[in-house]
Chain A
Amino acid sequence: MSSFHVLIRILGLLGLMAGMVGTIILVGELPTFDWDTLRGAWEGQYGNWVRGSAYAVVVGWGIALIVATLDGLAALFRAAGRRSILGVNVVLQVALAVVLLVGVNVFSFLHYQRWDLTRERVFTLSPELAEQLRQLRGETTIIVYQLRQPAARLTAQPPDRYDLAAERTVVEKVKDLVDLFREFGPQFRVVVLDVEEEGYDRKLAELVRQFPPLDGAIRAAPESSILFCSGRHVQRMGFSEFYRLDKSASREANDGRGNLVLLNQGVETFARNILSIEEKRPRVAILVSHPWLSTEGQVEEYTLAGLRKSLTNHGFDVRDILTNKLVGRRGRGLRLERAALSLEESRLDRVEAQLSAVRLQLIQNRAEVERFRELLDLFRSPLSDEQVSDRLSAMFGRRLAVGPEERAKNIRNLEERLPEIESEIAEKERKERDLEAEWDSLQAQESVSEGQRETDLYKKLAMLLSDCDALIVARMTLIDTSIGDVVPNSLHQLDEQHVRAIREFIASGKPLMFCGGPTNEPPDNDFFARSGSGPDGLENLLSELGLVLAPQAVLYDAEADAYATNQVLAFGRGGGIESIPALEFTETEVPTGAVWEGRETRPNPLGQALLLVQRSAGEPIDLRVRYPRPLYYRPRGVQVTTAASFLQTIRACWNEDNPYPTEERPIPRFDPPKPDDPKRGTLHERRRGPFPVGVAFEARLPASWHRPEVGAMEAARFVGWSPIAPGGLPTFFAANAVLPADWGVSTPQSEERKARIVAIGHGGWFSGPQLSVAQEALLIHSLNWLLGRDYRLPHARQVWSFPRVPMSERELYYWHTGTLLGLPVSFALLGLAVMMIRRTR
């Protein structure tokens, strides 16, 4: 070997050493190891030390590669040179083999197949779903956002090892699923955003630049989430919507030894989020009777701000609709007029009122300034004191006399006061400009200007509801009966036009959530007696669908105890919310008496879902309200096959017709009904609990709601049969003459329409600036069911848990010892024996 050859080889080894050292330094110094950071290192973005290392890597490895290649080629040709044709042939064959090896593997890298041989095809999507995903155009970015903290708690207990284990496992499952989605091609880009990862801020900034709405979605995420981004659309899905922990089952599994039991909610929800990413967000209308009760109400006790926040965070748009408008005062109270206003319109009215007030004040202030200047000029003028006094007397209409001292004092006062007023005027002018700008901006909104043009109440409400997908009616009523803290029913009463618009909304198949508290008002109270009470048109409408709203409030035994205590200690106030027992979820019909007279029905799907949510928490969820109202679903002429109740009270309570303390009965108590009580034996019979206070059902709509001719026929028939109606008999014959032959037969199934209704017997259920996690769960699952998004409801169709092998301690010991020591020692001894035998031979 020549010295030149040796020198080249040494150079190659040095290059190899430099390359390795440079690589080690770069791995330690760079935050990530990708082409961008390597380029940055080469350009000196990370300092000279790193730049030097980058040079060393490139140059060192380059030299090593060149030397190795040259040396290899030289060796090849040296070998080939001995048998030239054969050698060249071998070189060619080897080169071809290398090309073939690389080519085959490159092709395999780009075109590959994966076979899922698992028994349950865990890693395979259904063919229909796979086909839908393949047809997606445009890039969808899936962001796995790891918050590294357990989800917001459904109960007050801190997270335990089950929660933490569930979080870890679900993260792995999510990563598996996104890998599965990557298989569908470049249209799915997956990014893992881990808050504890180095470079998180940079990654997040880059993503927010691409998807601006992502920032808000991440801030609002209460738990580790999967975010789907496409264009300007972002959808969020919590990890728990993918795999839900069943803590109760986890604790009870394997004969109490415990396991991790997760409820697989299926890939469907995940895939649907992708497929519907650009779809319009569902819009929920919230019908309230007063701005204080709206989502922008400022009073904590009444506001629905928490409701809006939760809905927005879960991908819903919200529209408040006010059914009353303030038009003046009546005595010490307010005068309200029935209306149908969006919050923006209501805000417009408010802005207009504020603008008027500000402008009036400005006129007054400017007049005041004029006057003060006039006075100042007068006092400063060279006129005598007498002349000034005469002028003042003429100005003010009474005799005024001023001397030199008074003149000086007045000049001083006026000089002090003028700048103050001018400053107030400037402030008010600024406020006027702001209000004008707000007014312009509100007027520019098409919905507001259209709404202002429309004066017909029915048309107005119908227009506001037309682009909404669901309606929530919230009617807070009883707050604290011990002190008469009650929102009057008259405030919630709807006009016939309102009811007509709502009927049409439901008739179109759209769902309604009715949160209505008891309508019992304090007896012997002039104000309530004057204002009117009892069921309004909406409650009558719901009764046509089979919803029975009891004219009672539920009182608890524990509350009565608290009443008794507080009568002495708290000046007659009732017990606080902490004295109220929590409500219970149910999936079966709640018995309405000692004897169960109902039929067996399928479990309520919403109740089932909520019970699963409770199982996730591992203990009963804390949801409690005062004075809930019993609700029942009793449709006429329809056999109920699915239980309607999903929420009930405990047993230790009763239904009270008069939940107010009276002189004769200062502390509420349960008195059994008298034998001659007319309600005895009916649904509203005074009795002990439990009571259903939440029902969810799919109502068959009366034919007259969506077939106007049926309504007309029914009306004509009614008139015709009525003995006192004018033209009764002739109308009857006329109506029958035009009736179709099959009239009286029920509406064909193909023409039947249904609508989903959720009714909760309390109007303040979602009040407050922030909903608890449990309230939010109830709200969102109810809405998902109402909107027909049953696939989003928690279910237990697929249960996952760690595999377990039951083994006694003794079995475990022998397996451990046998495999850890027995096998190796056996073969070691065998080897020794073989060696000994060989030696003897």
Chain B
Amino acid sequence: MRATWTLIRREVTAYFLSPIAYVVLAAFLLVTGHLFYLTMTSLTARGPVGIEWPMRGLLADERFWLVFLFIPPLLTMRLFAEERGSGTLEMLLTAPLRDGQVVLAKFLGAWIFYVLLWLPTAIYLPVLLHFTDGRFQIDPWPMATSYLGLLLAGAMFLSLGMFISSLVRSQMVAAVVSLVLSLGFVLAAFWRPEMDTSGLTYRLLYFFSVPLHFSHDFTRGLIDSRHVVLYVSVTVFFLFLTVRSLESRRWR
């Protein structure tokens, strides 16, 4: 266990010692800052305009998801591809760690950084929750469910990116391939959004479309077991595949 923690610490430290993390952080906060600016404008507007669910202003916007799509690939591209390219993967695999522990440690390292990426957005909460007179004037539960959804969805995308990274040598290829595969969970939401919501086609699209999960459910204080099961099962699946991918190296 100690070795796993050491590896996790190493991974997290590696992020902060890498310029890409700060680039990702800055770009991410720029986009979320802009969306927060728009949300705040709606919350302080004059006349019959406004936003009922403030987190929707942040997380249901297409601009957010188009930027978000890049983050997991950028965070995971180096996890195995870089090690393979630099030749340190064999050293890692021969360490007194099981493959599962290595995968878990790398995954958790990426995930912890992903969580830290979202931490600065806590600065938006005083406005988004509007705490006065000993009470949150705006319902706080949608914030909680939104963050829960983000953590789980992020885990899913990270596990996908990590698996791709375990298959290829080039970080760029890893990033691009995981970006393209992640599109499958995002693009459907922006395709024919005015489709009749009673049909099976829409229900299937809705099942896979992460932005729709947020715009319909998480940002409005709803937790749907379908989304949670999807995120957790896909995460576990890709982690499993990553372990198998690592194991397959031993046969070669």
The answer to whether A and B assemble together is: yes
* Chain B hits for A831, CB < 8 A: 19, 21-23, 25-26
User: How long is the Cα–Cα vector from A282 to B226 in the complex, in angstroms?
Assistant: 44
CB-based contact A803/B52 at 8 Å: yes
CB-based contact A824/B196 at 8 Å: no
Q: Counting CB contacts under 8 A, is B67 at the interface?
A: no
CB-based contact B37/A114 at 8 Å: no
Q: Counting CB contacts under 8 A, is A192 at the interface?
A: yes
* Chain A hits for B140, CB < 8 A: 119
Q: Counting CB contacts under 8 A, is A130 at the interface?
A: no
Q: Counting CB contacts under 8 A, is B195 at the interface?
A: yes
Q: Counting CB contacts under 8 A, is A263 at the interface?
A: no
Q: Counting CB contacts under 8 A, is A112 at the interface?
A: yes
Contact status of A83 and B251, CB under 8 A, knowing A101-B237, A827-B25, A827-B29? yes
Q: In angstroms, how far is the closest chain A Cβ from the Cβ of B63? A: 14
User: How long is the Cα–Cα vector from A831 to B23 in the complex, in angstroms?
Assistant: 8
CB-based contact B201/A33 at 8 Å: yes
Residue-by-residue, is B5-29 near A (CB-CB < 8 Å gives 1, otherwise 0)?
0000000000011010111011101
User: How long is the Cα–Cα vector from A60 to B61 in the complex, in angstroms?
Assistant: 33
Q: Counting CB contacts under 8 A, is B34 at the interface?
A: yes
Q: Counting CB contacts under 8 A, is B46 at the interface?
A: yes
Q: Counting CB contacts under 8 A, is B192 at the interface?
A: yes
Q: CB-nearest residue of chain B relative to A110?
A: B226
A179: which of B16, B17, B49, B197 is its contact (CB, 8 Å)? Answer: B197
Q: Counting CB contacts under 8 A, is A2 at the interface?
A: no
Q: In angstroms, how far is the closest chain A Cβ from the Cβ of B157? A: 16
* Chain B hits for A34, CB < 8 A: 199, 201
CB-based contact A90/B50 at 8 Å: no
B43: which of A109, A805, A835 is its contact (CB, 8 Å)? Answer: A805
Contact status of A823 and B244, CB under 8 A, knowing A108-B225, A117-B145? no
User: How long is the Cα–Cα vector from A157 to B201 in the complex, in angstroms?
Assistant: 43
Interface window among A5-13, A267-275, A459-467, A813-821: A813-821
A162: which of B48, B127, B197, B233 is its contact (CB, 8 Å)? Answer: B48
B30: which of A79, A801, A816, A824 is its contact (CB, 8 Å)? Answer: A824
Q: In angstroms, how far is the closest chain A Cβ from the Cβ of B149? A: 12
Interface size class of B (residues with CB under 8 A): 35 or more
CB-based contact A804/B225 at 8 Å: no
Interface window among B76-84, B175-183, B215-223: B215-223
B48: which of A115, A192, A258 is its contact (CB, 8 Å)? Answer: A258
CB-based contact A90/B247 at 8 Å: yes
* Chain B hits for A93, CB < 8 A: 244
Q: Counting CB contacts under 8 A, is B234 at the interface?
A: yes
Residue-by-residue, is B206-234 near A (CB-CB < 8 Å gives 1, otherwise 0)?
01000000001100111111100110011
User: How long is the Cα–Cα vector from A352 to B222 in the complex, in angstroms?
Assistant: 68
Q: Counting CB contacts under 8 A, is B168 at the interface?
A: no
CB-based contact A118/B142 at 8 Å: yes
Q: In angstroms, how far is the closest chain B Cβ from the Cβ of A299? A: 44
B33: which of A33, A179, A250, A823 is its contact (CB, 8 Å)? Answer: A823
CB-based contact A119/B48 at 8 Å: no
Q: Counting CB contacts under 8 A, is A702 at the interface?
A: no
Q: Counting CB contacts under 8 A, is A116 at the interface?
A: yes
Contact status of A119 and B33, CB under 8 A, knowing A101-B234, A804-B50? no
CB-based contact A802/B51 at 8 Å: yes
* Chain A hits for B36, CB < 8 A: 819-820
Q: Counting CB contacts under 8 A, is A182 at the interface?
A: yes
Interface hits, B135-158 → A, CB 8 Å: 137-142, 144-145
Contact status of A815 and B248, CB under 8 A, knowing A824-B29, A827-B22? no
Contact status of A114 and B252, CB under 8 A, knowing A33-B192, A105-B229, A834-B22? no
User: How long is the Cα–Cα vector from A192 to B193 in the complex, in angstroms?
Assistant: 13
Interface hits, B238-252 → A, CB 8 Å: 240-241, 244, 247-248, 251-252
CB-based contact A90/B244 at 8 Å: yes
Q: CB-nearest residue of chain A relative to B27?
A: A824
* Chain A hits for B230, CB < 8 A: 105, 108
Q: CB-nearest residue of chain B relative to A194?
A: B194
CB-based contact B248/A90 at 8 Å: yes
* Chain A hits for B40, CB < 8 A: 805, 812, 815-816, 819
CB-based contact A112/B52 at 8 Å: no
User: How long is the Cα–Cα vector from A113 to B227 in the complex, in angstroms?
Assistant: 10
B144: which of A117, A189, A815, A835 is its contact (CB, 8 Å)? Answer: A117
Residue-by-residue, is B66-105 near A (CB-CB < 8 Å gives 1, otherwise 0)?
0000000000000000000000000000000000000000
Q: Counting CB contacts under 8 A, is A609 at the interface?
A: no
A805: which of B29, B44, B191 is its contact (CB, 8 Å)? Answer: B44
Q: In angstroms, how far is the closest chain B Cβ from the Cβ of A484? A: 51
Q: Counting CB contacts under 8 A, is B47 at the interface?
A: yes
CB-based contact A175/B197 at 8 Å: yes
Q: CB-nearest residue of chain B relative to A804?
A: B43
Q: In angstroms, how far is the closest chain B Cβ from the Cβ of A211? A: 16
CB-based contact A803/B19 at 8 Å: no
User: How long is the Cα–Cα vector from A64 to B85 in the complex, in angstroms?
Assistant: 30
CB-based contact A97/B241 at 8 Å: yes
CB-based contact A830/B22 at 8 Å: yes
Q: Counting CB contacts under 8 A, is A568 at the interface?
A: no
Q: In angstroms, how far is the closest chain B Cβ from the Cβ of A333? A: 60
Q: In angstroms, how far is the closest chain B Cβ from the Cβ of A547? A: 43
Q: CB-nearest residue of chain A relative to B137?
A: A803
Q: For B48, B195, B216, B222, which residue has the most chain A Cβ atoms within 10 angstroms? A: B48
* Chain A hits for B29, CB < 8 A: 823-824, 827
* Chain A hits for B145, CB < 8 A: 117
Q: In angstroms, how far is the closest chain B Cβ from the Cβ of A452? A: 51
CB-based contact B224/A94 at 8 Å: no
User: How long is the Cα–Cα vector from A819 to B34 in the complex, in angstroms?
Assistant: 8
User: How long is the Cα–Cα vector from A191 to B202 in the complex, in angstroms?
Assistant: 13
Q: In angstroms, how far is the closest chain A Cβ from the Cβ of B128? A: 8
A803: which of B16, B138, B144, B220 is its contact (CB, 8 Å)? Answer: B138
User: How long is the Cα–Cα vector from A211 to B189 in the complex, in angstroms?
Assistant: 33
Q: Counting CB contacts under 8 A, is A332 at the interface?
A: no
Q: Counting CB contacts under 8 A, is A259 at the interface?
A: yes
* Chain A hits for B216, CB < 8 A: 179
CB-based contact A803/B54 at 8 Å: yes
User: How long is the Cα–Cα vector from A368 to B198 in the complex, in angstroms?
Assistant: 72
Residue-by-residue, is A793-833 near B (CB-CB < 8 Å gives 1, otherwise 0)?
00000000111111100001001101111011101101110
For the complex of A and B, the 7 pairs showing the least CB-CB separation, nearest first, are: A831-B22, A802-B50, A165-B48, A118-B221, A260-B48, A108-B229, A828-B26
Extra contacts besides A97-B241, A108-B230 (11): CB < 8 Å? A32-B196, A79-B251, A122-B221, A161-B47, A803-B54, A815-B40, A819-B124, A827-B120, A830-B22, A831-B25, A838-B17
Q: What are 8 A-B contacts defined by CB distance under 8 Å? A: A94-B241, A118-B221, A161-B48, A190-B197, A191-B196, A260-B48, A804-B50, A831-B19
Q: Which residues of A line the B interface, CB within 8 A?
A: 27, 32-35, 79, 82-83, 86-87, 90, 93-94, 97-98, 101, 104-105, 108-109, 112-120, 122-123, 161-162, 165-166, 169, 175, 179, 182, 189-192, 197, 250, 257-260, 801-807, 812, 815-816, 818-821, 823-825, 827-828, 830-832, 834-835, 838
